[in-house]
């Protein structure tokens, strides 16, 4: 994993494997369906297919691997942690800007 600090210097960040928080280690999810309407919830056959995983897709985060890399803070220097935190903050701010632009139709 790489991270850029406020100084623009790239740093290698020590990682460890964790269970994917998006799919909880299943490797698939049905989140692409969004909110399920009451009509579908009342359909016993549809619910049976849903519970059997017929609508599942590969998890976009772990791509079916069940685990993802996460920062290993025990092995990081303070400089690496600061760079990682800075990188995540910039990513968050960029995502917030994209959301705001979508809301106004840009």
Q: How many Å apart are CA 63 and CA 96, to the nearest integer?
A: 25
Alpha-carbon distance values, 17 to 22, 75, 93 (Å): 14, 13, 26
| pLDDT tens digits, 55-78 | 788 898 999 999 999 999 999 999
Span 10-18, average pLDDT: 96
Q: pTM of the full predicted structure?
A: 0.67
């Amino acid at each position: 994993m790489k991270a850029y600090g406020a100084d623009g210097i790239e740093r290698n960040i020590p990682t460890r494997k964790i269970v994917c928080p998006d799919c909880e280690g299943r490797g698939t999810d049905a989140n692409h369906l969004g909110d399920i309407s009451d009509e579908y919830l009342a359909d016993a056959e549809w619910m049976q297919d849903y519970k059997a995983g017929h609508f599942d897709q590969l998890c976009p985060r772990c791509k079916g691997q069940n685990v993802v890399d996460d920062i290993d803070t025990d092995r990081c220097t303070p400089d690496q942690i600061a760079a990682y935190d800075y990188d995540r903050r910039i990513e968050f701010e960029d995502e917030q800007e994209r959301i705001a632009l979508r809301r106004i139709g840009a």
